[in-house]
Chain A
C-alpha cells in the first residue's frame, strides 16, 4: 500500500527549521501514507511527529494535481493553542504547485529572528529575507511576481493585519483571499514568515489512462450548473443578500486547478472613498466571508471585502466587529488599523451552525461554506474530510453530492477490492481528523 501510494507522490518532505535556518529533506516516514493516505491525514501525523516544535505542516493529497476534477487542494495543519488541530484548505493552484515543486509535505518549525520568505522551487527551499515585501497584499504579490523567469505561481502571504497583531489575520493566497479563519496568518507572523512562494519545476506521472475518464467526468460536471456564480452561495445556509450583489457586479468565473465548477466569481465594483471614485475587483473565493459581509452591509460589501483581502484579514471577523451602522470610511479605518480581540471564534452562533456543528466547522479552518448535505447518508464533515485527505477541493464535493468516493478512488486504482481497502483506511483517518 505504502509503495503503491508513493507513485502519487514525490515522497519527499522538507523540514524547514527557522531557528537554525536549516532545511532538511527526508522521505515520508514509512507507514504514514498507508495509514492516512495523504492530505490532512498525513499532515496530522507529521504534526505529531514534530510535536513540541510548533510546526506548520503544508501538504497535499494523492490526487492533488491529478486528472481527478478540482485536484487543487493544499492543506495547512497547525495548532494555535496546542489543544486543537486545525486544517486549513488552500485552493486555486497551490496544491499542484507545491507537489510539482518537488515536495509533498513542507514542515516549518521554530521561529525566525527576522522576517523571512520561503521560496519553494526546483527541489529546494530557500530562506530569504523579506525586506522588500511591504504594503498591501496586491503590492507584495506584484513585487514577488515581477521576477522574470523564476516568478512564483502560487504565493501565500500574510497581510498588514498580521503585523498589527490581529488574532484573526489570514495567510492568504495573494488576491484570491483565503479560507483560513483560525488565524494561520497570525501564527505564521509569530514565526516571522512573511511569504511562502511556490513554483512548480517538475511533474508526477499519474496513470495516463485516467486522462479520458477525467475529461468525461469534467464535462459532465461542467454541464450540471449553468449560473455557476450562484451555486455555492445558494446552497449555503444563511441569507440571500449576496445574490443581488453578485448579479450586479459579476464579471467572470474563475476556476481552481482542473475544476469544472468555477465557483470563484470576479466582481468589479466602483467605490467612492472620500469623493474619489475608484474601480476595483475582488475574487470571491471566501464565500462564507462575503455572505456575512453582504448580509450585514449590502451597500459596501464589495469595498469592505476588497479591503479585508488587501489587509489579510478574515472578513467573517471583520463583519462581526464593524456592525451594520458604521459609515464606510469608519469601517475601512477599522479594517486598516486593526481590530482588537483575537480569533474569530465565539462571535455567537453563525447561520448554519445547526447544519454543521461549530467544533467540526473549526477543525477545517472554517472557511469551507456550510453547505447543507444534499445526500442523506453523507454528512458535511465526511465530505470535507474525504476531500482534505485526497487533495480534492471540498467545495466541489459539497456541491456535487452524487460524486461518490468510489468515483474519486477510481483515479487511484481501477481495482475494486483495492478501492475497498483504501476506503476503509480513509474512514479511519477521517475519524482521527474530524472530531
Chain B
C-alpha cells in the first residue's frame, strides 16, 4: 500500500504537473511601487482603493497593501509586494500557484491557489496578506501595470516606477582600465613599481615600505611621493584597485569568464593580506632586499612586457596561479592577499567618502543586485534580507562603482563620511 502511494506520487506529483519554471530573463526595467515613508501620513487610502479593486467594497482587510503604524515611534510603513527578482514565495508555494511573468510581476494564479498562507510565511516582509478570518490571500499584482494605490495616494508617498540602472559608469570604467593597463604594461615599461616621468617619481607604497625596511634608510622624497597614492586613496577610496591596477583589470577579465566554485574557508579571511604585508616588510628588513616585489603579480605583469615586444615568460609564472584563485570567488587575490591593497585599505579606512546603500527607495531583499555585482563581496546579503541597510566597509571597497551603476532604483550613492543619509541602524527589535 505504502509503495503504491509513493509510486502514484511519482507520476502525478506537483513537480511533474507544474514544474518550477526556468529562471526567466529579468526585465530590463523591473516595475515596482516605490514607497517614501517620510511622506506617508498613514491615512490608509491605499488600502481603501486596493480593496475596492479586489472585492468591489471598501474593506481594508481585503486589500493587498497594509499600512503598518508604529505608535512608539510615530512612523508609518506600507507593506506591499516588491515583486522580487527571485521570489521566495514562488519557491515555497506547495501548489506552484505563484509565478513571475515576463513583465516582472509576481502573481498568484487564483485557480491553483489553496490559500494556505505559506507564501506569507516565506516572505521576509510578510507581504502576501491573508485575511485573518476568511483566510483569503491577497497579493499585489501592480493592477497589471497601473497601480491604483499610487494613483490615488493623496501624499504621493507611493509612486509607480520602472527601475532603471544608471548604466554609464561601466562604459567609463572599462576603457579607463584598458588604457591604464596598456599605459602601465606596454607603453611605460616596468612602471607601476616606480613611475618616473622627468623629475616626478611615484613609487608603489608597498614597495617603498619594503625598501625602507631593507635599506634601513628613510628617503624623504621617496616617502613623500609614495604618499601621493595614499592621499588619492584617502580622498577617493581605493580607486587605484578598481580603475587603474593592471592586474585588477586582468582579474576582472578572467573573472568574467571562469566559473566560480567558492574559496576554502582558511583562504577567506580578509586579514591575510595584512599578514602578507607585515611578512613582506619584516622579510625585507631581515633579507636586505624586497622579497614580495620579486613575486608581486602587479609588478610582474608590468615587467613582463619588455621593450621591443618581448614577453618575459619567467616573470609571468606567478600570474596563472593567482588567476586560478578566480575560480574561487571574484577578485579573490584582491580580497584576501594583495599587500598593495592592504596599504591602500588602511588609507581608505580613514578616507573621507563612503558608499551608502539602502536609502528609502532600496528594495532590500527583493533585489540584491548590488550584492550580486560587487566584485569584492562586501555587501551584506544577510542585512539586505533582514531589511537593514548594509554597512559598506570602505577599506574593502575598491570603488569600482558597480553597485551605483547597477542599482535600478538609484539607492546606492557616494556620500561624504559625515553625511547622514539612511535611517538609523536598528539592531533588534521586540515588544518590550
Report which A residues bind B (CB closer than 8 A).
65-67, 93, 96, 100, 121-122, 138, 141-142, 145-146, 149-150, 153, 174-176, 199-206, 208, 211, 215, 218-219, 222, 251-260, 262, 266, 268, 281, 283
Given contacts A122-B133, A203-B51, contact A262 B43 (CB under 8 A): yes
CB-based contact A202/B61 at 8 Å:
yes
> Would B60 and A100 count as touching, CB distance under 8 A?
yes
Assuming the contacts A141-B71, A281-B72, A283-B74, asked whether A204 and B58 have C-beta atoms less than 8 A apart, the reply is yes
Assuming A100-B58, A254-B42, A255-B42, what are 9 further A-B pairs, CB within 8 angstroms?
Answer: A142-B431, A149-B130, A153-B60, A201-B131, A252-B74, A254-B76, A258-B44, A281-B73, A283-B71
Separation of A149 and B61 alpha carbons in the complex (Å): 12
Q: Contacting A218 at CB < 8 Å: which of B45, B51, B431?
A: B45
The listed residue (A153, A176, A203, A283) touching B59 by CB distance below 8 A is A203
A199 to B132, CA, bound (A): 10
A256 in contact with B43 (CB, 8 Å): yes
Query: What residue of chain A has the Cβ atom nearest to residue B432's Cβ?
Result: A142
By a CB distance below 8 angstroms, the chain B residues around A218 are 45, 152, 154
Asked if residues B154 and A254 are in contact (CB atoms below 8 Å), the reply is no
A202 B42 Cβ-Cβ under 8 A: no
A100, A175, A200, A222: the one within 8 Å of B154 (CB): A222
Q: CA–CA, A96 to B132, complex, Å?
A: 17
Residues of B at the A interface (CB closer than 8 Å) are 38, 41-45, 48-49, 51-52, 55-62, 71-76, 130-134, 151-152, 154-155, 431-432
Complex alpha-carbon distance, A121 and B58, angstroms: 16
Q: How far is the CA of A157 from the CA of B148 in the complex (A)?
A: 35
> Pick the contact of B61 from A100, A204, A211, A262 — CB < 8 Å?
A100
Q: Is A211 touching B132 in the complex (CB atoms < 8 A)?
A: no
A255 touches B41 (CB 8 A): yes
Pick the contact of B431 from A146, A149, A252, A257 — CB < 8 Å? A146
Number of A-B contacts (CB under 8 A): 106
The CA-CA distance from A100 to B44 in the complex, in Å, is 14
Q: Which residues does chain B contribute within 8 Å of A266, judged by CB atoms? A: 74
Once the chains are docked, how many angstroms separate the CA of A323 from the CA of B120?
53
Q: Across the two chains, which residue of chain A brings its CB closest to B63?
A: A203
The docked-state distance in angstroms from the alpha carbon of A80 to that of B376 is 71
Indicate whether A202 sits within 8 Å of B59 (C-beta atoms), given known contacts A174-B71, A258-B44, A281-B74.
Answer: yes
On chain B, the residues within 8 Å of A258 by CB distance are 43-45, 48
| CB-CB nearest in chain B for A151 | B132
A122 to B132, CA, bound (A): 9
- B49: nearest residue on chain A (CB-CB)? A211
In the complex, the answer to whether B41 meets A65 with C-beta atoms within 8 Å is no
Report the Cα distance A262→B38, complex, angstroms: 13
Smallest CB-CB separation from B75: which chain A residue?
A252
What's the nearest-Cβ distance from chain B to residue A302, in Å?
A: 13
Known A199-B132, A201-B133, A281-B72; judge A206-B58 contact (CB<8 A): yes
Given A142-B431, A203-B51, the answer on whether A253 and B41 have CB atoms closer than 8 Å is yes
| Most chain A beta-carbon neighbours within 10 Å: one of B48, B52, B155 | B48
List of B residues within 8 angstroms of A254 by Cβ: 41-42, 74, 76
The 3 tightest CB contacts between A and B, nearest first, are: A203-B59, A266-B74, A203-B57
Given A174-B71, A260-B154, A266-B74 in contact, is the A203-B45 Cβ separation under 8 Å? Answer: no
Chain B nearest CB: distance from A96 CB in Å? 7
